[in-house]
Amino acid sequence: MKAQEASRLLQQRKARDGKFARCAKSGSGFVPKRSAFPAVWQLKHKEYYPELPPSPVNYLTWKILHQYALNWTMARQEGEFMDFLEWIFANWSALGAGVFRWMKDFPNVPCVRIITNAKLRGFIEEAYTEKEWWARWRKLSDYERMVLHLVQKRGMTQEKAEEFAARRTGYEDEKKEIAKARREVELLAARSQQAITQERAVLARQRRANNNYRKPLKQTEGSFGKFEP
C-alpha cells in the first residue's frame, strides 16, 4: 500500500506542469522548483490563515528557501519537504507558544525568515524530529522501543542495545507468563471454592425440604409393629 501511495503521489507531482523537481542527490523526497515556491506558499497561507495577509517575500528569500529545502531533503533518509512545510503551517501557533516563547516579536503567520535562519531553524527541525520520533515510537514493539531508547538516548551501539533488550524483554515476558499462570490458578481455586459452596447450599436446602415434608407416623395394628407410616 505504501509503494502504491508513493507511486500515486509521484505521478501527481509529475503532472503539475513541472512544478516539482527530483532532488537528484537526495535519497528521497521531492522539492518544489524555486519558481514554484511563491505559489506553494500562497496556497498554504490561504489554507491556514485566510483572514491574515501574507508577509511580502523578495526573490532572494525564495532562493534561500529553495536551497534550504534541497539541503533539508538531502540530509534526511526519508521524508518530504512539503510535509515538513505543511507541519510548520499547521503548528505555527504551537511553535510560537512553545519553542519560540522567548521571542517577543514572533509573527502571527509563518515567516520564511525564521524558517531559514541558521540560528532559528534548528529549533523547528528539532521539534519536527521529536514529532517523528514519537510517531515511530507508537508503532514499535516493546523490544524495538527499548533498542531505540538505548541507542538514541543512552548512546549504546546497536548490537549491545539489541542484546540488552533481548535479555530484558525476555525476562519481562517470563515474569508476565508467571503472573498469568498465577492468576489462572487463583481463578481455578476460586471457581472450585464457589462450586463447593454451591454444592453445600444445595444439600442444605434438600435436607430442610426433606424435614419439612416428612409424612407423620400413624398408629396401626399391622404385622410390622405398632407404628407405620
Please give the backbone phi and psi of residue 148, each rounded to the nearest 5 degrees, phi first.
-60, -40
CA–CA separation, 163 and 176 (whole Å):
20
The CB-based long-range contact list for 197-205 (8 Å cut-off, 24+ gap) reads none
The ranges assigned to domains in the chain are 2-139
Q: Is the dihedral of CA 122, 123, 128, 130 positive or negative?
A: positive
What's the average model confidence in pLDDT over 92-121? 83
Residue type, 216: P
Higher pLDDT, 228 or 107: 107
pTM over the 0.85 mark: no
142-181 pLDDT per residue, tens: 778 788 778 877 788 888 888 877 777 665 665 676 667 7
Residues 6+ apart with CB under 8 A from 38: 57, 62
% the chain with pLDDT above 70: 73
According to DSSP, residue 52 is labeled: S
Measured N-to-C along each axis, helices 37-48 and 81-90 cross at an angle, to the nearest 10 degrees, of: 30
92-101 pLDDT per residue, tens: 888 888 778 8
pLDDT for the residue numbered 39? 87
> How many beta carbons lie within 10 A of that of residue 215, not counting itself?
6
